[in-house]
Amino acid sequence: QITFDGQAILQTFPSMFRNDGAGAVLSYNGEGKLVDNAQGHLDKHIVHMDLPLGVHLQVMRWANHLNVRITMTPREGGQDGSCGNFNGNMADDSTEAIKSRIGQRVAPADLLFNVPAQVGPGGQHVTIT
């Protein structure tokens, strides 16, 4: 189940949801490029999230797992985080290099999703923080 502020959204396939106040447009369809081709023989069920600051998340929903593709535009003044620092040098985007620059975790004030996610198999809710 996909929710926004506690309300179920994207309940049909395909479907679309927009919240102008949050600057978010979400769609659920079979379009998009897979992270890898291991599931390429299956029907695609992909949630697309166009978010503020030019962030696009593509979440591929499979029977037993998820794949996520994150794309974004460079931020003026630079950026850094779990996906690297967007300087074009992949060599300094290792987990060790990122931890040395920003520490173990992104500061709560810098999180795009600042509410713990509720996920779990079979409808069981588990909070991931």
As a whole number of angstroms, the distance between CA 58 and CA 50 comes to 9
Beta strand 2-4 with 7-9 is antiparallel
Q: What is the pLDDT of residues 62-72, one digit of tens each?
A: 888 889 998 88
Q: Look-up: residue for tokens 């003026």?
A: 76
Residues 111, 125: Cα–Cα separation, whole Å: 22
**The pLDDT value given to residue 129:** 45
Which candidate, 57, 54, 80, 81, places its Cα nearest to that of 69?
57
Cα–chain center distance at 61: 12
Q: Structure tokens of 109?
A: 């004030």
Tokens describing residue 10: 């994207």
* Mean pLDDT of all residues in 39-44: 86
Put simply, whether the predicted model's pTM sits higher than 0.85 gets the answer no
Residue 116 clears pLDDT 70, i.e. is over it: no
Closest Cα partner for 17 from 43, 49, 39? 49
How do strand 15-19 and strand 24-29 relate by DSSP bridges? antiparallel
Q: How far is the C-alpha of 10 from the C-alpha of 2, rounded, in Å?
A: 7
DSSP 98: H
Interval 42-83: pLDDT, tens: 889 999 999 998 899 999 988 888 899 988 888 888 888 777
